Structure 1
């Protein structure tokens, strides 16, 4: 997959907002090289190109990805995908600082690059065995069972992203909910001293 395909996909998702606190785009390649040297890792080429193109950002729309093996997902098996971190070590949202903060919790060989649900991370595997694969790190699980594969590589992760529907339903659905809840709601209001009074 080429970088232009990823750029097109991000545009289809509604675009991004650049982080106001992280690096300027022209510095990203320098930060990427420093990061690789410091941690003695080689980042996949497409991953590097994506970060060189976008830097640190958040999405304009709420975004999700399917993670079917995670035990705490909603019934549709999707998790939130949010803020993409930067590689500038001086930034408070840098990948290096996330790694330092999670030392002893996040398994070695996994690079956190994005927020998931609150407290969770989306990671790139740079270990030899599963190199390039993307995993969801669930912070509430034990070290032995806290990584769940999302995609075979970074390109496939971006391809799988979807806009998250956070609406509470259509007007017709809302009407049905109101009708179903009305008797119970009225009963509660009456018991509280509010609402219409009973006859007799």
Structure 2
């Protein structure tokens, strides 16, 4: 795996602060990735989702930025705050594909650390308007497993 850095290095304290905002500790393997690379372009970048959705390309994995960053749209925490009305609680977008779909990680107890593909073109609200997981597709049980699936 090769990661091309895009963002400045981040500090453990910034990750701790992000975890407070997210309301959960990040899975250890994903936290280590942020500490080492702080997101960026990844190669290989092809991901097999499932037979229905086929493959996608991971465009970028988000990082944690400071307030002076020019990369607000690629900031993990800012994305979380901007998307929390579209993505179910306990799910955090950690990257995207070129079509505007998200790569997400689960922070809920029963699915903690699992990585999902979020299809933004599919509905994810029940008749009462509550967010559902109907457009989330499991791609790996861990962040490391997700990285291993890239080809």
TM-score (norm 2): 0.83
Greater share of helix: 1
* Distance (Å, rounded) in 1 between the aligned partners of 2:55 and 2:92: 21
Contiguous gaps of at least 5 residues in structure 1? 1-9, 163-200
| Higher RCO by CA contacts (8 Å cutoff, separation 6 or greater) | 2
CA distance in 1, matches of 2:16, 2:28: 12
2:129: which partner in 1?
Answer: none
Cα distance in 2 for residues equivalent to 1:131 and 1:65:
20
Does the 8 A contact of 1:28 with 1:55 survive in 2? no
Task: Using the TM superposition, give the Cα deviation of residue 16 of structure 1 relative to its aligned residue in structure 2, in angstroms.
Answer: 2.7
Q: Kindly provide the CA deviation profile for residues 126-161 of structure 1, in whole angstroms up to 9, marking residues without a partner as x.
A: 011111100000111111321000001111111110
Q: Distance in 2 between matches of 1:149 and 1:117?
A: 19
Among 13, 18, 28, the residue aligned to 2:5: 18
Name 1:6's counterpart in structure 2: none
Structure 2 CA distance for aligned equivalents of residues 85 and 52 of structure 1: 12
| Bigger fraction of residues in strand | 2
- Do the aligned partners of 2:33 and 2:39 also contact (CA within 8 Å) in 1? no
Q: Based on CA coordinates, which of the two structures has the bigger radius of gyration?
A: 1
Q: List runs of 5+ in structure 2 lacking aligned partners.
A: 125-131
Tell me: CA distance 1:147–1:133, structure 2 relative to 1, closer, same or farther (3 Å): same
Distance of 1:154 and 1:124 partners within structure 2: 8
Give per-residue Cα distances to partners, 1:53-96, cap 9 Å, x unaligned.
1112113x561111115x4x3xxx21111211112252412112
Q: RMSD across aligned C-alpha pairs, in angstroms?
A: 1.7
Is 2:149 the partner of 1:160? yes
Which residue pairs with 1:146 in the alignment?
135
How far apart, in 1, do the equivalents of 2:11 and 2:32 lie? 10
Structure 1 equivalent of residue 105 of structure 2: 124
Q: Counterpart of 2:22?
A: 39
The ranges of structure 1 where at least 4 consecutive aligned residues each deviate by more than 6 angstroms after the TM superposition are none
Structure 2 counterpart of 1:109: 90
